[in-house]
């Protein structure tokens, strides 16, 4: 690891440590959790450009006030913020003047009573609880992860195949109306979520969250070469060609996965959907 990368990782870890110390002194904060590469239980290490995935658990009554005042608190207690934004379940994303990206999910304690309904569930991929004043969260997290491990391989496989072929057939209206941006959005879902999940299953490296992450390191070079042409879309014709290619690759590895793991794969579903989508992909 070069000196620049090491310095940045060290600086990020120091910032997490300071944040942990400050948050622990706040009465409204119940717990502080680290995910991703900066978690002790992650399957990969941080790089120079890794963001920092964090969750702050606050009391139910203080949530709104905490989010509204978080930037001013952060700058007062720690350091200035260059960028302050939010995306979906990440109520606060801060970028420091050193371009350290801190992505915060600010949740309430009651969210942990029904973890399966949360917008964010990084837990199956590793997490580190830096502190938990309630002493209750880890048991709830562990109990929430266990049921997914009880699902049979065949059930996972069936669910994945149903989901993939649903996305394929549901894109027809967008292609027909010439709404290629919407069609392309569906295409990326098929590839990054469904195909990558299948390829991980085939390679016996399953994850339940963000299956495309680090896919280049997980799959063998032969598969990476095979899926390489799927990466870029340039025009409607290209979209249709790569949709056909994506369908064929998925079909190939669904059958390979079934054979490798002694699972049942029903071609009737695939053949019927392919016959249906060929009507709009052929034009």
Domain extents for the chain?
A: 3-149, 153-281
153-281 has which CATH code? 1.20.120.330
91 token code pair: 């109520």
CA distance 57 to 276: 47
Q: Would you call 267 helix, strand, or coil by DSSP?
A: helix
> What pLDDT, on a 0 to 100 scale, did the predictor assign at position 189?
84
Q: What is the largest CA-CA distance in the chain?
A: 64
Fold of 3-149: Beta Polymerase; domain 2 (3.30.460)
Q: Would you call 131 helix, strand, or coil by DSSP?
A: strand
Strand spans (E) along 109-157: 127-132
165 token code pair: 């072929």
> What pLDDT, on a 0 to 100 scale, did the predictor assign at position 147?
62
Angle, vertex CA 207, rays to CA 85 and CA 261, nearest 5: 155
Contacts 24+ apart (CB under 8 A), 276-280: 276/169, 276/172, 277/168, 277/169, 277/171, 277/172, 277/243, 277/247, 279/172, 280/172, 280/175, 280/176
> What pLDDT, on a 0 to 100 scale, did the predictor assign at position 1?
64
Give which of 44, 27, 36, 26 is closest to 103, Cα–Cα: 36
Q: Which residues does residue 275 pair with via DSSP β-bridges, in sequence order?
A: none
Q: Are 103 and 93 in contact (CB under 8 A)?
A: yes
> What pLDDT, on a 0 to 100 scale, did the predictor assign at position 258?
96
> What pLDDT, on a 0 to 100 scale, did the predictor assign at position 206?
81
Strand spans (E) along 109-254: 127-132
pLDDT tens over the chain, length 283 residues: 677 888 989 999 999 999 999 999 999 999 999 998 899 887 778 888 889 999 999 998 999 999 999 999 999 999 999 999 998 888 999 999 989 999 999 999 888 888 877 877 778 778 999 999 999 999 988 888 766 567 889 999 999 999 999 988 998 888 888 898 888 888 888 888 899 999 999 999 887 777 887 888 888 999 999 999 998 888 888 888 999 999 999 999 999 999 999 999 989 999 999 998 888 888 7
Q: Which residues does residue 31 pair with via DSSP β-bridges, in sequence order?
A: 57, 132
> What pLDDT, on a 0 to 100 scale, did the predictor assign at position 280?
81
Could you tell me how many helices (H) and strands (E) the chain has, helices first?
11, 6
Q: CB-side exposure of 21: number of CA atoms within 13 Å? A: 8
112 token code pair: 């942990």
Q: Are 83 and 96 in contact (CB under 8 A)?
A: no
* Region of 141 on the Ramachandran plot (φ > 0 left; ψ -120 to 50 alpha; else beta): alpha
Q: Are 91 and 42 in contact (CB under 8 A)?
A: no
> What pLDDT, on a 0 to 100 scale, did the predictor assign at position 114?
83
200 token code pair: 């991980």
Say how many residues make up the chain. Answer: 283
């Amino acid at each position: 690891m070069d000196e620049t990368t090491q310095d940045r990782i060290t600086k990020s870890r120091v910032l997490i440590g300071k944040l942990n110390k400050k948050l622990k002194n706040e009465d409204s904060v119940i717990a502080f959790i680290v995910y991703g590469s900066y978690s002790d239980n992650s399957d990969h290490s941080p790089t120079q450009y890794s963001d920092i995935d964090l969750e702050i658990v606050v009391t139910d009554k203080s949530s709104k006030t905490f989010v509204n005042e978080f930037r001013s608190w952060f700058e007062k207690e720690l350091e200035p913020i260059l960028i302050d934004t939010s995306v979906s379940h990440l109520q606060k994303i801060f970028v420091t003047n050193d371009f350290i990206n801190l992505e915060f999910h600010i949740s309430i304690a009651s969210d942990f009573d029904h973890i399966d309904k949360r917008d964010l569930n990084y837990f199956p991929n590793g997490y580190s609880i830096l502190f938990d004043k309630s002493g209750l969260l880890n048991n709830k997290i562990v109990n929430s992860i266990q049921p997914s491990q009880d699902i049979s391989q065949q059930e996972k496989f069936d669910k994945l195949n149903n989901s993939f072929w649903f996305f394929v057939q549901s894109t027809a209206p967008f292609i027909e109306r010439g709404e290629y941006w919407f069609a392309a959005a569906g295409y990326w879902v098929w590839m990054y979520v469904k195909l990558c999940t299948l390829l991980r299953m085939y390679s016996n490296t399953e994850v339940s969250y963000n299956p495309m992450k680090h896919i280049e390191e997980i799959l063998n070079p032969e598969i990476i070469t095979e899926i390489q042409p799927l990466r870029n879309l340039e025009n409607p014709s290209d979209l249709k060609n790569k949709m056909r290619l994506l369908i064929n690759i998925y079909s190939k590895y669904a059958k390979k996965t079934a054979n490798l793991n002694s699972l049942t794969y029903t071609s009737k579903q695939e053949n019927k959907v392919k016959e249906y989508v060929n009507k709009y992909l052929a034009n």
